[in-house]
Structure 1
Amino acid sequence: MPVTYATVPSPTGATFESTLQGLRNYDPVSFVAELVDTYGDIVRLPFGTQDIYLLNHPDFIHDVFVNKSSYFAKRKDTNAEGNYLHQISGILPLFEGQLGTTYAPIMVDAALHTRNRWEAIYQEHGHLRVDIYKEVMRITLEIVFQTLFQADVQAEAGQIVDAILTMDVGYGFDPIAALINDLVPTTPVFLTPKAEAARSYMLKLMLELVQTQRANSGDSRSLLSWLLKQQVNGQAISDEQVANQALTIMFSMHEVTATTLSWAWYLLSQYPEVDARLHTELTRVLNGRTPSFEDLPNLPYTEMVLKEVRRLYPSVWSVGRFVRDDVSFGDYRVPSGSILLFSQRIMHRDRRYFPEPDRFDPMRWTKEAEGARPEYSYFPFSAGPRQCAGRDFAPTKDALVLATLAQQWQARLVPDQHLEPYPQKSFTPRYGIQMTLHPR
C-alpha cells in the first residue's frame, strides 16, 4: 500500500508575498518563531513553485545533517554545491595537527596584544570604556589573518575593523539572503563612497597578501596557498579571484568568534555569579599565567559558559537547505525542489529542551544535563558533511581569548543602551556593546 502522509500545517491566507515580506522584514526571527509556536515542528510557507518548510525538531535536524544528508544541498546550483563541498574539504585539513601546536599560541598572543593595550590606556587615564564588539573584532582579525593567511596585521587591526564596519553591506552572513536571493528579484545594493573606499582597501590588502604568497611559491599550509592551487574549468584562477574568495572566508571565520565573545562579555556583566565562578576557575587553573591549548581540558566551566553563550546568541541564527529528492520527516512528506529553513536561535530557546530558555545558565552543559537532551536540540556549527569549517577552531579560539582577558578584567555594561542582535549580520550586536572595563 502507498504511504499516507499527514498534511503539513500552513498559515491560512499565506502567500508568496507574505512569506517574502516576513523573511526580509526588520525582525525575521520573530516571524519564524511565531509560526513555529503556532503550527509546531514543521510548517509550510508558500513560495511560488518552491515552498519553504520550517523545521523545529531535533529528529528532523538530525535527518538533514546526517541521516539523509544526501537528499539536501546548500547551494541550488549543482556546480556551486560541488565547489562549496570541495572548498570545505580543502579548508578542514588546514586545521588538522595545527590547532594546538601552531594556532593556539597565535590566539593567545592576539589576546595579549589587546590586554596590554587595555592596561596602557587604563594606566594613563584611570578608566577604560570600549565597544567590546570592536575590541573583540581586532583580536579575531589578528588571529584569522595570522592563522589562515600567515600575515601579521596587528598594526592595521584597528583600520581593518573600521573598514569592515564602514562597508556595512556585503559584510557578515545573512542566511535568508543566501537562501532565497537567487530565487527572487533583488534590488541592487549601492555602496556609499566611504563604504566603497573601505571595500577597496580590504580587497587591496588581501590582493597584496595573495601576490606575496604566490611570489613565495605558495608551499605553506595556508588558506591562500590552497586557494592559489585551485582551478575553474581547468584554468588557474586569478589573483583577484583568490583575493575575493579569501576575503569572504575571512569574514565568516572571524565573525563566528567576534559574535560569541561580544555576547559573552555582555552576559557575564549581567550574571555576576557566573562571572565570579568563571574567574575562580581561571585563577585556580592558571594562577595568573597565560593559558595554553593543554589547559583547555582543565577549564570545563569556561567551556560551559561559551556553550551557553552560543545557545542564546548563535553566530548564525538559521540554516537553509534545498531539497534534491522527495523526503519524509516523521509523518510528513516534503517534495523535491522545496526549501528547508531551521533556526538555531529558535531551537536553542525551545522550552522542551531548555527550561527558562532566556536565562543564562552554564550548568545546562554538565555532562548529565547535556546527555539528557536530544543531540540536535543544539547545533551552533551545524553538522555532517556541510558543517562549519571552524567547528573546532572557533571554540578553541573563544576559550583561549576569554581565559586570557577575563583573568585580569571585568566588564560592566554602560546603562541605557539599546542592545539588539542583527540577524542580517551574523547575529552581531547591531549597535555594538559599550562597556567599562575594570582591573580585577
Structure 2
Amino acid sequence: MPTTYTTVPSPTEATFDNTLQGLRNYDPVSFVANLVQTYGDIVRLPFGTQDIYLLNHPDFIRDVFVNKSSYFAKRKDTTSEGTYLHQISGILPLFEGQLGTTYAPIMVNAALHTDGRWDAIHQEHDLLRVDIYKEVMRITLEIVFKTLFQADVEAEAGKVADAIVTMDVGYGFDPIAALLNDLVPSTPVSMTPEAEAARSYMLNLMLSLIQAHRADPPDSTKSLFFWLSKQQVNGQIISEEQIADQALKIMFSMHEVTATTLSWAWYLLSQYPEVEARLHAELTSVLAGRTPTFENLPNLPYTEMLLKEVRRLYPSVWIVGRFVRDDVSFGDYLVPAGSILLFSQRLMHRDRRYFVNPDRFDPLRWTQEAQAARPEFSYFPFSAGPRQCAGRDFAPTKDALILATLAQHWQARLVPGQQLEPYPQKSFTPRYGIQMTLHRR
C-alpha cells in the first residue's frame, strides 16, 4: 500500500442520525444517488464508531468481490460469518447436476399450471385482470417448494402468495437491515392481526412439510429440509421450529429474485412494443408453439438479453454491503478496518458512463460486442466471488423458461392510472403490485 492517501470526500453536515435516516427513509435510493452524484465514486459517512463508505466504480466492486475478497465479510463477527458461509456451502450442492435434468421440467410445469389457470379464467370471463407480481409469485413459490423442499404446494400457491403480500414485515430481503442489524437502534415491530395470521400460516405450512418429510423421506438427499435437519446450534440439533424459520427465510430469498424480475419484465414488455415483437418472433422461430426445454435456452439469445436488461433496470437487490476486516485501499483511498462498505446495483446499472440512455429498456445492450465494451463490474445482479448469490444459475434458468412458456401465448397490458414504484426495503419488488390485463395471442 502507498504511504499517503487521498482524503475520502465526506459531507460536512453528515451525522450518524441523518445517515441512518437517509438509509431507512422512504426513498433510500435517492439518498445514496445524491451522495454519489455530489461527491464521486467513494464517499465517507459517519456511522458511530464504524464509518460507512459508499463505492460506485467497477474497479472498486471488482476488488470487493474478487481481487481482495479476503478483506471483507458479510457478517460483522467471525462466528456469524462462518455460519453464513457454512449455510451457503450447504445450499450450493442442492443445485449441482439437477438444473437441466430435474429442475427445468419443474419450472416449465409450474408455468404451464398458470397458463392453464389463466386460460380457464379468460374463457369464462373474457377479461383477465391480474396483479402480475402475485401471479408470478405463485409460479416461483411452486417451483421453490418443489425443487428445494421436494414438496408439492401447487394447490396452496395462491394462498401462500396472499400470505406473503399480507405480511407487513418479516418477508423478503432488506439489504440495509441485513447488514446493519445490531448497529442501529432496535425499534419495536408491530404486525397487524392479518399479518400475524399470515406469518403463522406460513410457519405452520413449513412445519407440516417438515413433519411429512420426516415421516416419508424422499429418495434424494438434495432437499433443503434434509440439510437443515443436520444443523446444530451449540452442539444441539435444531428444533423443527428453528428449521421452519430458517426454511422460510431461504424460501423468501430464493423465490423473490424471479418474482421481482419477471414482474418488471411483463411491465417493460407492455411499454416497449418493439422489444415485445422481437421476443415473440424469437419464441415463434425457435419453439413454434412447443413447450420450451432446458436444451432450447442456448437458442433463445434475445430472451436472455431481455432478462439481463430487466435485471439492470430493476435488480432484485438494489444495494450490497460488506464489513471491512483489514485496512484496504481502493485506488488512492484508504478504508480502515472496521468500516462498512455499501455499493449499489441500482446506481451502477444506470450509470451514464457505462450505459447510454440508462433509463431506456434496450436488450441489445447485451450483445457480446456491447458487453465487451463495458467494465465487467458495471453490472452485478447476483454479486460475484466466494459470497455470490447461491441461485445465480437457478434464477436465470427459471426466469427464461417461465417467460418463454407464457409469452408464447399471452400479452400483458398495463392498467392505466396506477402507482408503480419499486420497494427498496423489500427486494425491489413493486410496492403496490402491478395491475395488468392479460390477452391471448
Same fold (TM over 0.5): yes
Quick one: distance in 2 between partners of 1:194 and 1:431?
A: 17
Tell me, yes or no, if structure 1 residue 438 matches structure 2 residue 439.
Answer: yes
Match of 2:413 in 1: 412
Match of 2:186 in 1: 186
Tell me, yes or no, if structure 1 residue 403 matches structure 2 residue 420.
Answer: no
Instruction: Describe the SS at the equivalent of 1:248.
Output: helix
Quick one: distance in 1 between partners of 2:233 and 2:176?
A: 27
Distance change in 2, residues 1:410/1:13 (3 Å): same
Query: Any stretches of 5+ residues in structure 1 without a counterpart?
Result: none
Quick one: distance in 1 between partners of 2:99 and 2:321?
A: 29
Match of 1:211 in 2: 211
Give per-residue Cα distances to partners, 1:27-73, cap 9 Å, x unaligned: 00000000001111000001111000000000100110111111111
Match of 1:79 in 2: 79
Shift of 1:77: 2.0
Q: How does 1:91-130 map to 2 (within 5 A)?
A: 91-130=91-130
- Aligned residues with identical type, % of pairs: 84
Match of 1:369 in 2: 370
Tell me, yes or no, if structure 1 residue 390 matches structure 2 residue 405.
Answer: no
Match of 1:58 in 2: 58
Q: 1:214, 1:228 within 8 Å by CA — same for their partners in 2?
A: no
Shift of 1:177: 1.0
Q: 2:129, 2:436 within 8 Å by CA — same for their partners in 1?
A: yes
Instruction: Describe the SS at the equivalent of 1:328.
Output: strand
Give per-residue Cα distances to partners, 1:2-47, cap 9 Å, x unaligned: 6100000101211111111111111000000000011110000011
Q: 1:107, 1:401 within 8 Å by CA — same for their partners in 2?
A: yes
Q: 1:283, 1:407 within 8 Å by CA — same for their partners in 2?
A: yes
Quick one: distance in 2 between partners of 1:379 and 1:164?
A: 27
Q: How does 1:318-357 map to 2 (within 5 A)?
A: 318-357=319-358
Give per-residue Cα distances to partners, 1:258-297, cap 9 Å, x unaligned: 0000000000000000000000000000000110000000
Quick one: distance in 1 between partners of 2:21 and 2:43?
A: 17
Quick one: distance in 2 between partners of 1:396 and 1:133?
A: 19
Quick one: distance in 1 between partners of 2:167 and 2:414?
A: 27
Q: 2:168, 2:192 within 8 Å by CA — same for their partners in 1?
A: no
Instruction: Describe the SS at the equivalent of 1:291.
Output: coil
Give per-residue Cα distances to partners, 1:331-379, cap 9 Å, x unaligned: 0000000000000000000000001000000000000000111110000
Shift of 1:302: 0.1
Quick one: distance in 2 between partners of 1:271 and 1:22?
A: 33
Shift of 1:168: 2.3
Quick one: distance in 2 between partners of 1:164 and 1:419?
A: 19
Match of 2:268 in 1: 267
Quick one: distance in 2 between partners of 1:388 and 1:167?
A: 25
Shift of 1:422: 0.2
Give the AA of the match of 2:381: P
Quick one: distance in 1 between partners of 2:178 and 2:243?
A: 21
Quick one: distance in 2 between partners of 1:269 and 1:73?
A: 40
Match of 2:301 in 1: 300
RMSD of Structure 2 on Structure 1 (CA): 1.0
Instruction: Describe the SS at the equivalent of 2:438.
Output: strand
Quick one: distance in 2 between partners of 1:214 and 1:40?
A: 55
Give per-residue Cα distances to partners, 1:145-173, cap 9 Å, x unaligned: 00000111111111101111111211111
Give the AA of the match of 2:198: A
Shift of 1:234: 2.2
Quick one: distance in 1 between partners of 2:67 and 2:166?
A: 42
Shift of 1:233: 2.5
Instruction: Describe the SS at the equivalent of 1:314.
Output: coil
Give the AA of the match of 1:312: L
Q: How does 1:141-160 map to 2 (within 5 A)?
A: 141-160=141-160
| TM-score computed with the length of structure 1 as normaliser | 0.99
Quick one: distance in 2 between partners of 1:434 and 1:380?
A: 25
Q: 1:278, 1:301 within 8 Å by CA — same for their partners in 2?
A: yes
- Deviates further, 12-21 or 295-304: 12-21
Quick one: distance in 2 between partners of 1:208 and 1:271?
A: 44
Match of 1:45 in 2: 45
Give the AA of the match of 1:228: S
Match of 1:232 in 2: 233
Shift of 1:215: 2.6
Quick one: distance in 1 between partners of 2:354 and 2:342?
A: 20
Quick one: distance in 2 between partners of 1:225 and 1:137?
A: 25
Quick one: distance in 2 between partners of 1:384 and 1:362?
A: 26
Quick one: distance in 2 between partners of 1:189 and 1:79?
A: 26
Shift of 1:217: 4.7
- Deviates further, 199-208 or 181-190: 181-190
Shift of 1:78: 1.4
Tell me, yes or no, if structure 1 residue 222 matches structure 2 residue 188.
Answer: no
Q: 1:110, 1:142 within 8 Å by CA — same for their partners in 2?
A: yes
Instruction: Describe the SS at the equivalent of 2:357.
Output: coil
Match of 1:284 in 2: 285
Give the AA of the match of 2:184: V
Q: 2:206, 2:247 within 8 Å by CA — same for their partners in 1?
A: yes
Match of 1:242 in 2: 243
Shift of 1:232: 2.1
Tell me, yes or no, if structure 1 residue 7 matches structure 2 residue 11.
Answer: no
Query: Any stretches of 5+ residues in structure 2 without a counterpart?
Result: none
Match of 2:29 in 1: 29
Instruction: Describe the SS at the equivalent of 1:155.
Output: helix
